[in-house]
Amino acid sequence: MILAIDAGNTRVKWGLHDGEGWSARGGVLNAELVHLAEAWRSLPVPERIVVSNVAGQKVRSELAVLLSHWHRDPIWVVARSRECGVTNRYQVPSQLGSDRWASAIAARHIHPGPCLVASVGTAMTVDVLGAEGDFLGGIVVAGPELMLEALVLKTAGVRGHKGQFQWIPTNTADAVHSGAMQALTGAIERMYRHVEQIQAVQPMCILCGGGASLLQPLLAMPLRVEENLVLEGLIRIARQ
């Protein structure tokens, strides 16, 4: 049994893998980590614990306390120069977020060819994997909720009801929502076109994260949605 934990900017997601599939999964907000103790109480003792944490030292410390009753030293993932068939071309490999690294490893095994990995969370990352398994780099932009919150907080006249996507909006709520969706999908599509040019082949786009369902209907490209990409990558890292 391997317990994989993905501590993101807003939520902590976890899954217990029995070697063939997920036997248990869950998630809580970072401000409510205390609830993990109850969720984990009924779990069997994991053989290994593997963690991606991009939420900072406070969350790491709280997780360490919650995990201590199993008397297992967690593997705190840090991006490496090479791991699980992926070569890291970041200028300083260890500065790549552990969640992006785990996602890249999972994506490589899902699609062994040129690939775009778009993770839509508090921030949206769009990363590029080359044909030989090289992590070539990527971009980071504000995610859907962060982008909309910034507009509401910093711009007069846009507060009110949540909008819906329209190609040509005729009210402010829809204009704000549609603008954010266009900006995010536009970032993915521009990266996709560039990868298509430099790789001379049509890449696969793997979409993941809590906001994936917002963007999926608006993207016209070979696309696959993966719900637990970081967790899948963590399992591969733990097995190695």
* List 6, 18, 73, 99, catalytic entry: 99
Residue 188: per-residue pLDDT: 98
Q: Any catalytic annotation for residue 99?
A: yes
Structural domains of the chain ordered from first start: 2-76 (3.30.420.40), 110-144+174-230 (3.30.420.40)
pLDDT digits (tens, 9 = 90+) for 40-94: 999 999 999 999 999 999 999 999 999 999 999 999 999 999 999 999 999 999 9
Question: What's the DSSP call for residue 203?
Answer: -
Residue 112: per-residue pLDDT: 92
pLDDT digits (tens, 9 = 90+) for 147-205: 988 887 877 766 666 899 999 999 988 999 999 999 999 999 999 999 999 988 999 99
Instruction: Please list, in sequence order, all residues whose beta carbon lies within 8 angstroms of the beta carbon of residue 115, skipping any fewer than 6 positions away.
Output: 107, 108, 128, 129, 203, 204, 205, 206
Rounded to whole angstroms, the Cα distance separating 8 from 125 reads 13
